[in-house]
């Protein structure tokens, strides 16, 4: 099922895009939790990490690499990547996305 992120990919809803290639895009989260809060999403619709198949391994590896690219682009070597999988884990948009968070002290364990 399509989500608001499919509309962002299609350009039907505006976003503050910071990266784009043939497999994914990255844009600033509308409700940032840190000075840098970017979402990296595949162009392909995959609802959540737990629905990944072997066929997606290359794509998800690419998303991880792009997380590092956008963090560095923002001037940060230290950053956190978060994937919420399922409503009980805080997922609200069911199109796989990596949160890339940086620019403040990040405590551990997360909430
Ligand atoms: P989740 O809770 O599913 O892990 O993360 C979804 C994220 O998408 C949230 O951090 C939320 O702020 C962000 N988000 C939801 N709708 C939009 C939107 O229309 N534009 C942007 N840029 N971010 C959105």
Any domain includes 107: no
Q: How many domains does the chain have?
A: 1
Q: Reduce the secondary structure of 18-67 to three states and give it as a string.
A: EEECCCEEEEECCCCCCCEEEEEEECCCCCCHHHCCHHHHHHHHHHHHHH
Distance of CA 99 to the CA centre of its chain: 4
Any domain includes 110: no
The model carries a pTM of 0.98
Provide the residue range defining the domain that includes 91: 4-102
The alpha carbon of 47 and the centre of ligand 1 are apart by a number of angstroms equal to: 14
| pLDDT confidence of residue 18 | 98
CATH of the domain at 59: 3.30.428.10
Top mutation candidate among 81, 93, 99, 111 for ligand 1, by most atoms within 8 Å of CB:
93
pLDDT band at 1 (very low <50, low <70, confident <90, very high): confident
Any domain includes 66: yes
The alpha carbon of 109 and the centre of ligand 1 are apart by a number of angstroms equal to: 22
pLDDT band at 33 (very low <50, low <70, confident <90, very high): very high
Any domain includes 13: yes
């Amino acid at each position: 099922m399509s989500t608001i992120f499919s509309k962002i990919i299609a350009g039907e809803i505006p976003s503050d895009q910071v990266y784009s290639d043939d497999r994914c895009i990255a844009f600033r989260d509308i409700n940032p939790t840190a000075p840098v809060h970017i979402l990296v999403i595949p162009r392909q619709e995959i609802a959540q990490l737990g629905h990944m198949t072997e066929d997606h391994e290359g794509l998800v590896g690419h998303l991880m690499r792009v997380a590092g690219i956008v963090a560095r682009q923002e001037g940060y070597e230290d950053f956190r990547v978060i994937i919420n999988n399922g409503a009980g884990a805080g997922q609200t948009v069911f199109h796989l996305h990596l949160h890339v968070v940086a620019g403040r002290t990040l405590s551990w364990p997360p909430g």
